[in-house]
Amino acid sequence: MSEKKAKETQKESQEESPSGGKGGGIMKIVIIAVAAMAVGGAGAFFALKTFMAPPAAPTVASEQQPAAQAEPDQEEEPIVAPTKGGGEAGAASGGGHGGGGAEAGAAAPAAGPITVELKPFTTNLNEPSGRRFLKVTVGMEVDNQDGADELNRMMSDIQDSILMLLSSQSVEDISSMDGKERLRSQILNRTNNFMSKNKVKKVKYSDFVIQ
């Protein structure tokens, strides 16, 4: 009797809602409920839950990122600290060209001639009037510093001898160029008489005044 009534109800529902829209959905629920009453409460609850459950959301497969390829470990070159001996060896090898030249260049050059200036001489000339005098300044050239040192050690005696020579000259003796050159030679000879190890090579006038 129940099944016949359910079929009649279903037929009436289809006639009222031929399109099967929203009314069709309600009708399905009614049919399920009636069927559930026939098979039992437990079966109706399961059928209702299955029908009413929302559709499961589709799972979207996540894009798998390609695993980063591990780069091979780069072998680091070992850092070796230079040894003290190596540095010295390099310096020594480098000095083979530049070093040796530097040492040769560091040597003191040979000393050239040295001129020693004497103090100015002022003396009366050998004149009857005694009013004429001579003022002269000379420099003496030696080969090296050793000669200059010896000349300075004997300077007192040398100056005394030169002063005596100048005071013996007359105006006529030293007025001409030849007279001045002759006086230069006399000063040189007297000076070298006091020199033992070194010799004066040249006598230079820096001032020569007759008044």
State the CATH number of the domain containing residue 195. Answer: 3.30.479.30
Report if residue 89 sits inside a domain.
no
* Residue 174 within any structural domain of the chain: yes
pLDDT of 189 > 80? The answer is yes
Whether 126 and 39 map to the same domain: the answer is no
pLDDT digits (tens, 9 = 90+) for 113-128: 999 999 999 999 999 8
Let me know if residue 60 belongs to a domain.
no
Going 34 to 39 to 44 to 47, the CA torsion angle's sign is negative
In a domain, 104, yes or no: no
Domain that holds residue 136: 114-210
CA atoms within 13 A on the CB side of 150: 17
Please state the pTM of the whole predicted model.
Answer: 0.49
- Give the confidence band of 129 by pLDDT, cuts at 50, 70, 90: confident
Q: What percent of the chain has pLDDT over 70?
A: 47
Higher pLDDT, residue 181 or 130: 181
Residue among 204, 202, 206, 125 at smallest CA distance from 166 = 125
> What value does the mean pLDDT take over residues 2-29?
54
- Write down the pLDDT at residue 67: 47
122 part of a folded domain: yes
**Same domain, yes or no: 119 and 42:** no
In this structure, the answer to whether residues 206 and 118 fall within a common structural domain is: yes
Number of domains into which the chain is organized: 2
In a domain, 10, yes or no: yes
Tokens of 204: 């230079």
Within a domain: residue 173? Answer: yes
What residue spans of the chain are helical by DSSP H? 2-16, 22-39, 41-52, 84-94, 100-106, 145-153, 155-167, 171-175, 177-192
